[in-house]
Amino acid sequence: MGLKIWLNDGLVDERDAKVSVFDHGLLYGDGVFEGIRVYNGNVFEGPAHLKRLYESAKVIMLDIPMDIETLADAMEQTVRANNVQEGYIRLIVTRGVGDLGLNPFICKNGATIIIASEIRLYPEELYEKGLKVVSVSSIRNHPLSCPPQVKSLNYLNNILAKIEAIQAGAAEAIMYNHLGYVAEASGDNVFTVRNGVVCAPPTQAGSLDGITRDVVIKLAKKEGIGVQEKDLTRFDLYVADEMFLTGTAAEVIGVVEMDGRVIGGGVPGPVTKRLRKLFFDYARS
Ligand code: PXG
C-alpha cells in the first residue's frame, strides 16, 4: 500500500497522484514549494511555512487556488491519513497546464500537491563530529533575477552547488552572492559564532528566510546569547570560533572544516551544541 497524497482538492492513492507533462512546474520549474517537519504528529511552524509559500507565490504572480486556512487543513488531513508521527511534508503548488511556450497566463489547473512521508536525516554521528563544507562557484540568484527569498521549484543553482560539494568530498556547499558575501548553504542557512556572539548573514545577502534560522535566532536571544545579522566574508567563516548550519532537515548541525581549514576546535563548539539542544527540545515540546 502506498501513501495517500493530497492532489488539488482531496486525498488520492499514490498511484493516482499524477500531473500533466504540460504542467509548467515540470516544463519550466514554474511553481513554489515548502519542506516542513512533523514532530509528534504536529506540523512544525506551519503558519510560518504557509506565509513563506504565499509570499513566494505572490512574487512570481502565481495564484494559489485555495486560502491559507484550507491549505493548512489539507496538510493536517494528509499527515493524519498517512499516520505520520515523525516525518516530513513536501507542499508544492505548480503553475499548471499550459502549452510549450513560457506564457504562464494561459496555464490552468495549477496542481496543489502535499506529500507527508518519512524524512532522511544526517546520521547521528555527523552531529557529534560535525560537517565538512566547501565554497562553491555557483552563486545565489541576483536580487534582480528571481529573488533568492522565493522558494521556487527551480533549484538548479543549488543543485550545481551540491554537485560541487559532493565532488569535493564535502557534505554541504557554501554559496556566495554576486558581491562575494556569504549567502547560505545549498539547503541550509549558515551561522558563525565569534567571541560568544552568534552571527548570520542577513537575508538580503541572498539566503532563504529560513524557518529554522528564525527559530534559532529567537531561542538564542531568549537565552541571552548575542545575535548579529551582518554580511560575512569567506575570511569570517575561516576564522570563526564555531560554525553551524540550520534547516528543516538538518535542524542545527556543526561545521568543523571548510575549504581545508579546521573551524574552531575541529569539533562542534559549545554554543552550537547548546543551540542544537534548545532547538531539539523546542521542536519536540
Ligand atoms: N536555504 C535553502 C536554499 C533551503 O532550501 C533552507 C535554507 C533552510 O530553511 P528552513 O526553512 O528549512 O529552515 C532551505 C530549506 C532537504 C531539505 O531535504 C532542504 C530544505 C528543506 C527541507 C528539506 O535537503 N531546505
Match 569535493 to its residue by C-alpha cell. 168
Rounded to an integer, what distance in angstroms lies between the CA atom of residue 197 and that of residue 193?
5
pTM of the model: 0.97
Domain that holds residue 192: 124-283
Neighbours of 89 (CB within 10 A): 25
User: How many angstroms separate the CA atoms of 126 and 253, rounded?
Assistant: 8
Pocket test for ligand 1, best of 39, 121, 188 (most atoms within 8 A of CB): 188
Relative to the CA of 184, which ligand 1 atom is closest?
A: 1
Q: Are 164 and 170 in contact (CB under 8 A)?
A: no
266: nearest Cα among 64, 129, 97? 129
Q: Hey, what's the cell of 101?
A: 511556450
How many CB atoms neighbour CB 166 within 10 A? 14
5, β-bridge pairs: 12
For residues 193 and 255, the answer to whether their CB atoms sit within 8 Å is: no
Active site members: 151
Q: Kindly state whether residues 104 and 148 are assigned to the same domain.
A: no
Q: Report residues whose beta carbon is within 6 angstroms of any ligand 1 atom.
A: 35, 158, 184, 187-189, 208, 210-213, 246-249
* Same domain for 227 and 131: yes
pLDDT at 231: 98
Please give the pLDDT value at position 121. Answer: 87
Q: What is the CATH number of the domain that holds 252?
A: 3.20.10.10
Q: State which ligand 1 atom lies nearest to the alpha carbon of 120.
A: 18
Shared domain for 93 and 140, answered yes or no, is no
Q: Which of 52, 86, 117 is the last residue of a domain?
A: 117
- Assess whether 129 and 86 both reside in one domain: no
Residue 209 and residue 96 share a domain? no
Q: What is the pLDDT along the chain (285 residues), one digit of tens a residue?
A: 799 999 999 999 999 999 999 999 999 999 999 999 999 999 999 999 999 999 999 999 999 999 999 999 999 999 999 999 999 999 999 999 999 999 999 999 899 999 999 988 889 999 999 999 999 999 999 999 999 999 999 999 999 999 999 999 999 999 999 999 999 999 999 999 999 999 999 999 999 999 999 999 999 999 999 999 999 999 999 999 999 999 999 999 999 999 999 999 999 999 999 999 999 999 998
What pLDDT is attached to residue 137?
A: 98
The amino acid occupying position 151 is: K
Q: Are residues 165 and 103 in the same domain?
A: no
Q: Which of these three, 117, 145, 172, is where a domain ends?
A: 117
Q: Are residues 97 and 202 in the same domain?
A: no
Domain shared by 75 and 34, yes or no? yes
Residue nearest to atom 22 of ligand 1 (CA): 35
Is there a single domain that holds both residue 143 and residue 86? no
Do 253 and 206 lie in one domain? The reply is yes
For the chain, how many structural domains are there in total?
Answer: 2
> Of the residues 117, 135, 153, which one is the last residue of a structural domain?
117
- State the Cα–Cα distance between residues 175 and 87, nearest whole angstrom: 27
Ligand 1 site-directed mutation target among 189, 214, 246, most atoms within 8 Å of CB: 189
